[in-house]
Amino acid sequence: MSKKGKYIADEGRYDKMKYRRTGNSGLLLPELSLGLWHNFGDNDSFKNARNLLKCAFDNGITHFDLANNYGPLPGAAESNFGKILKKDFKNYRDELIISSKAGFGMWPGPYGDNGSKKYLISSLDQSLKRMNLDYVDIFYHHRPDPNTPLEETMGTLDLIVRQGKALYVGLSNYQPKEAEKAFKLLKKLGTPCLIHQPRYSLFDRWVEDGLLNVLENSGVGAICFSPLAQGMLTDKYLNGLPKDSRAVKDSPFLNSNQVLEMLPKINALNEIAKNRNQNLAQMAISWILKDDRITSVLIGASKTSQILDSIKATENTIFSDEELASINTILK
């Protein structure tokens, strides 16, 4: 930070982070990326949102992940991000990988949801306006749409790249078979899929059942969301339910009953983490990073201290067979 209050990024930022190649592409992504699903809406502190982004970038996190509907209200995360870009990151655009998505309900009527050309083109135009950008680095189809021909959705992703509105395209929440079909279509069109964004954590291991192999064989990267199961895979709930936590605040996506149900497993995993000289959040992240098919782990954070804490996970991503076996026993 300079004297006048203008943000100047930490000069040592690129020594603090490791970068992995995204599939067969030319693009490197940081081992940790920051998502703006929560904590960047209109009900959140703008000052805190600015600090989160600066803290991430100062530590080599070059990738920020958004979607048309992140808020509240839907669109607010992109608008707030656009304001912060203008204030703090004007000189750093070429050092950032910014992604957005469309695929969930965004506006009323038949053209504000799913996977049609009409929806995806309009939605990306709106996202670019909200963020005040000429292009995003990655544009995702957010979830599969069984009622739109895959050719139409993939053709639209290809068009968006040819129009210069996105540099790369990705898919999120696609199952292995539909992902494979989509990758083939995209390749044929000349816009290979860069990356797939699935949920993956100690508590949700569906990607191990085929998807990661498909990604590896297709030369497509993997960026995993909710690696901490929205905060459950941390030590924050071990001694009760903190008032400022996602489970207690008004998130429709995590509630205190879900946390209480998982508490025995959380406690047991915490013991393994301690023996590794990590806290649970760090172990949960390094457990994902142990697999070199993974390009990046996409964290969320409500406090800068959480980003600083989670980054330490990259220092120890090797697990012994005994540790892995104990983890598997707990998760059975």
Ligand X SMILES: NC(=O)c1ccc[n+]([C@@H]2O[C@H](COP(=O)([O-])OP(=O)(O)OC[C@H]3O[C@@H](n4cnc5c(N)ncnc54)[C@H](OP(=O)(O)O)[C@@H]3O)[C@@H](O)[C@H]2O)c1
Query: What residue ranges bind ligand X (CB under 6 A)?
Result: 35-38, 65, 142, 172-173, 197, 225-231, 234, 236, 245-246, 281, 298-302, 306, 309-310
**Ramachandran angles phi, psi of 107, nearest 5°:** -140, 160
Minimum CB–partner distance for residue 36 and ligand X (Å) = 6
C-alpha to C-alpha distance for 72 and 42, rounded to whole angstroms: 6
Minimum CB distance to ligand X smaller for 6 or for 106: 106
Question: Based on CB atoms, which residue is closest to ligand X, 214 or 311?
Answer: 311
Element (H, E) at 196: strand 195-197
Nearer to ligand X, 133 or 228 (CB): 228
Cα–Cα dist 227/245, whole Å: 16
- The distance of closest approach from Cβ of residue 135 to ligand X in the complex, given in angstroms and rounded to an integer, is 19
Supply the minimum distance, in Å, between the C-beta of residue 259 and ligand X.
10
Amino acid, single-letter form, for residue 150: L
**Residue 207 in contact with residue 214, Cβ under 8 Å?**
no
Of 241, 284, 279, nearest to 261 (Cα)?
A: 241
Nearer to ligand X (CB atom), residue 140 or residue 164: 140
Q: How far is the CB of 172 from ligand X (least distance, A)?
A: 4
Work out how close the CB of 219 gets to ligand X at its nearest, in angstroms, rounded to a whole number.
21
63, 36 Cβ separation under 8 angstroms: no
Q: Rounded to the nearest whole angstrom, what is the least distance from the CB of residue 199 to ligand X in the complex?
A: 6
Question: What is the C-alpha separation between 110 and 327, in angstroms, rounded?
Answer: 46
Kindly tell me which of 127 and 162 has the beta carbon lying closer to ligand X.
Answer: 127
Q: Which two tokens stand for residue 183?
A: 């990758």
Q: Which of 126, 230 has the CB closer to ligand X? A: 230
Q: 173 φ, ψ to 5°?
A: 65, 15
- Is residue 318 within 8 Å of 241, Cβ to Cβ? no
Report residue 217 as tokens. 């064989």
Least distance (Å) from ligand X to the CB of residue 190? 25
Render the burial of 202-236: b for 16+ CB within 10 Å, e for the rest. Answer: bbeeebeeebbebbeebebbbbbbbbbbbbbbbeb
Nearer to ligand X, 23 or 300 (CB): 300
Q: Name the pairing type of β-strands 32-35 and 296-299.
A: parallel
Both tokens of 73, joined, read 């209200």
Shortest Å, Cβ 204 to ligand X:
10
Crossing angle (nearest 10°) for helices 150-162 and 176-189: 50
The smaller minimum CB distance to ligand X, of residues 8 and 241, is found at: 241
